[in-house]
Amino acid sequence: METIEVNDATFRPIVGIDLGTTNSAVALIRDGQPHIVASPQGEQLLPSVVLIDNQDQVIVGQDAKDSLIAMPERTMAAIKRLMGREGFVTVAGKEFLPEDVSALILKQLREYLVPIFGDGPVEAVITVPAYFDDKQRRATKRAGELAGFIVERIINEPTAAALAYGLGQGDEHKNILVYDLGGGTFDVSVITLQDGVLEVRSSDGNKNLGGEDFDWRLVDWMAERIRQEQQVDPRKDLRARAILKEVAEKTKWTLSTYNEASIETPVLMMHDGIPVSLNTPVTAEEFTQMIQPWLDETLQLTQTALKAANLAPSDIDNVLLVGGSTRIPKVQQMMRELFDHDPQHEVDPDMAVALGAAVQAGLKSGALSETHLVVTDVAPFSMGISVVRADRWGEMVPGFYKPIISRNTTIPCTRKTTVYTLYDRQDRIQVEIFQGEHDRVEQNLQLGSFFVPGIPPALAGQESVEVQFRYNLNGILEATAKIVSTKATQGIVVQDGLDRSSTDLFESSKVRLETLAQADTIVESEANEPEEDEVLLMEGIEEKEESADTLEQETEQSDVIKEAQRIVQDLQAIASLRQGSQRSSAKSLINQLEQAITRQDTEGLPDLLDEATDLLFEMEG
């Protein structure tokens, strides 16, 4: 793909971003094709490294990466691996949340767009590993907002890569496997492309497996050689450790092309007045043996994903290799042996995710509407509730996890289950929502909770409550609970978006970033939605505080339009998988909704939304 000229200003401001562990990139649609937006120096990839120099000036990219050795205490790399974790990281004696550091990387990408779009708001589709959990996805969105983007969509990296490949494939029927081995994460997805519908069948992965692990394994190998020969461990010296890491990266690149590399380090450190260094050869076979356990794990996860999709290796038509670590010859050999044909190399593995994110952005903006490409994805984790179960002695034990939406379920989807009162005259239950795969809730991630009061008095087990989950393409989970005997309903909407319930956290991040010396301070875009709680009460439920009546009319209209756009995406996705009257009804409703959105008909939209929601429930049921 060629690089777009930065003086081209003919596009709606919506872009796709690959926020990578090692490198990041931004892309957009031009002339119906995705293109990488290069830096003013012509670089397509931005190293995901941040430096705060001695003048507290923020430097992002190659210059920061070059300073990892000279100023290791002032630089931060591979921050993506810490996204979603609580606690601070320290850079140059200052404390930052992981998303603060990621925001600095994204802000640098935002600067690339100023000659195209100006300083106004820019919407972004940002990719994450398919196996990122809810906290990690929220942290990624928060980083985007801190950088000045309007982030309304997060998509999975393998899905994005498949979009980059699938654009222009027409009505071909293909089963595609995306093997995504990046700097910090591994994902594998099985995808079917048919009649313009790109359907994710299954996903699996490890969010803590990638090229960084390979580099550090080589660092350990070199350090052990030094320790055995010179009786000193260079890993205990911060600068020496940084030098070994850089040498490991370069050696890995060399071994992707040649069978042997010569390791010649500069003086790493001084020990008892003697310089410590290393000069030794290493072969590709030796390096492969070092990292073989991780490669074996990726192979096992690939086979698990195939099994979840009910496909055999022989059913896969194309294998897409994504991520710089797929350049390792052993990786390509493994894929060739498993699938009995060569992987695809049509899309640059370093660029595929960003280009695919731009395709998703183009679908969202309408720039690629003529392609009629529709994307469906899967839930990367199971979502369910906490329940009580009887042990083998008949004692009721709390804290068990009951999945309602299972992992790899195609979304959008609706699923339900029924729970019962535990004791006599129980008048309410608490619905606690979790994400994960463990049988015990404490091992999973809690997404939210709500109470269901007003259960009629009865004996234990005689009153039932129907719990329903609806999960859509925008990462929004709507959970409702209905008392079967009275039909009374309550629930919440858990949005996989900016953590609005933690406004203080967001504001403190802004303050931290604004105190740094930069050409432009990081400010929240004026186009952001008004602050609101992340967990929202559903319509029809009594609220103790005034809610919608206090919002300005303009905001209410904007919310209706956005909800209509989300419903249209859901209808397009699920209608593509249906036939007959349901598909016809969906197409008719999509047409009516799109016309109403174009007219900004906020008075007529609510009725259409009700009708569309009912149809979605019918088709998903």
* Residues classed as catalytic: 18, 80, 157, 180
CA–CA dist 238, 334 (Å, integer): 36
DSSP type of residue 235: G
* Long-range CB contact pairs, 252-257, < 8 A, 24+: 252/211, 252/214, 252/215, 252/218, 252/287, 252/328, 253/327, 255/282, 255/283, 255/284, 255/287, 255/328, 256/327, 256/328, 256/329
DSSP string, 299-363: HHHHHHHHHHTT--GGG--EEEEESGGGGSHHHHHHHHHHHSSPPB-SS-TTTHHHHHHHHHHHH
Residue 281, Cβ neighbours under 10 Å: how many?
Answer: 10
Residues ≥6 apart with Cβ < 8 Å to 417: 385, 402, 404, 466, 467
Q: Which value, to the nearest 10 degrees, does the dihedral of the CA atoms of residues 347, 351, 357, 363 take?
A: -40
Measure Cα distances from 379 to 189, 327, 509 in Å: 12, 29, 30
Helix (H) or strand (E) holding 401: strand 396-405
Q: Which value, to the nearest 10 degrees, does the dihedral of the CA atoms of residues 530, 449, 153, 305 take?
A: 170
Residues 181/213, Cβ–Cβ less than 8 Å: no
Tokens 């990408």 -> residue: 109
Residue 50, Cβ neighbours under 10 Å: how many?
Answer: 26
Measure Cα distances from 300 to 5, 347, 543 in Å: 43, 25, 49
Measure Cα distances from 538 to 404, 439, 479, 481, 548 in Å: 20, 29, 9, 11, 11
The residues pairing with 415 across neighbouring beta strands, listed in sequence order, are 469
Residues 1/40, Cβ–Cβ less than 8 Å: no
CB burial string 304-316: b at 16+ within 10 A, e below: ebbebbebebeeb
Tokens for 560?
């209706």
Measure Cα distances from 360 to 14, 29, 157, 238, 464 in Å: 10, 10, 11, 42, 42
Residue 254, Cβ neighbours under 10 Å: how many?
Answer: 17
Tokens 């984790």 -> residue: 381
The residues pairing with 188 across neighbouring beta strands, listed in sequence order, are 179, 204
CB burial string 179-199: b at 16+ within 10 A, e below: bbbbbbbbbbbbbbbeebbbb
Residues 26/351, Cβ–Cβ less than 8 Å: no
DSSP string, 402-469: EEEE-TT-EESEEEEEEEE--STT--EEEEEEEESS-SBGGGSEEEEEEEEE-PPP-STTSSEEEEEE
What totals of helices (H) and strands (E) does the chain contain, helices first?
A: 13, 31
**How many residues are present in the chain?**
621
